[in-house]
């Protein structure tokens, strides 16, 4: 007696949608994680831009940039920037939520203090 191959039930549209969403999410996460590794070699031949510059270019605003090699700036400048950046850097994981909360609170009060 010959056996007939078993038929598999067709996948439901919901299951297919969930699978597609998971695959797209995985691809986006991989892109975000691998993008710095792809850009790092490029920065050996092209000067990097900041996200603020990209935002301004995207909006059509003028961007003026003067690239200065590190050997042409004062030695104290990089150390000053690092020192001024965040005095609590070692006590948080990259984002100082306490300081961020204070900035949001101050901006809220500045913007809405008269209307409360």
List, for residues 73-99, the tens digit of each pLDDT value.
Answer: 898 988 887 777 767 777 777 778 888
SS3 content of the chain, % helix, strand, coil (to 5): 65, 0, 35
78, 70 Cβ separation under 8 angstroms: yes
Q: Tell how far CA 56 is from the center of its chain.
A: 16
Q: Which pLDDT belongs to residue 8?
A: 67
CA 59 – CA 106 distance, rounded (Å): 27
CA 23 – CA 6 distance, rounded (Å): 28
Direct distance between the N- and C-terminal alpha carbons of the chain, in angstroms, rounded to an integer: 84
Task: Please report where in the chains the tokens 């050996």 appear, as a residue.
Answer: 44
For the whole model, what pTM was predicted?
A: 0.41
Residue 49 pLDDT more than 90? no
Q: How many CB atoms lie within 10 A of CB 49?
A: 13
């Amino acid at each position: 007696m010959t056996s007939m191959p078993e038929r598999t039930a067709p996948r439901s549209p919901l299951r297919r949608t969930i699978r597609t969403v998971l695959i797209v999410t995985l691809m986006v996460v991989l892109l975000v994680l691998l993008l710095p590794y792809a850009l790092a070699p490029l920065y050996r031949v092209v000067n990097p831009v900041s996200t603020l510059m990209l935002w301004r270019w995207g909006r059509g605003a003028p961007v003026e940039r003067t690239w200065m090699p590190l050997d042409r700036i004062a030695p104290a400048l990089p150390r000053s920037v690092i020192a001024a950046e965040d005095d609590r850097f070692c006590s948080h994981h990259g984002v100082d939520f306490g300081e961020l909360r204070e900035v949001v609170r101050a901006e809220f009060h500045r913007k809405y203090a008269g209307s409360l």
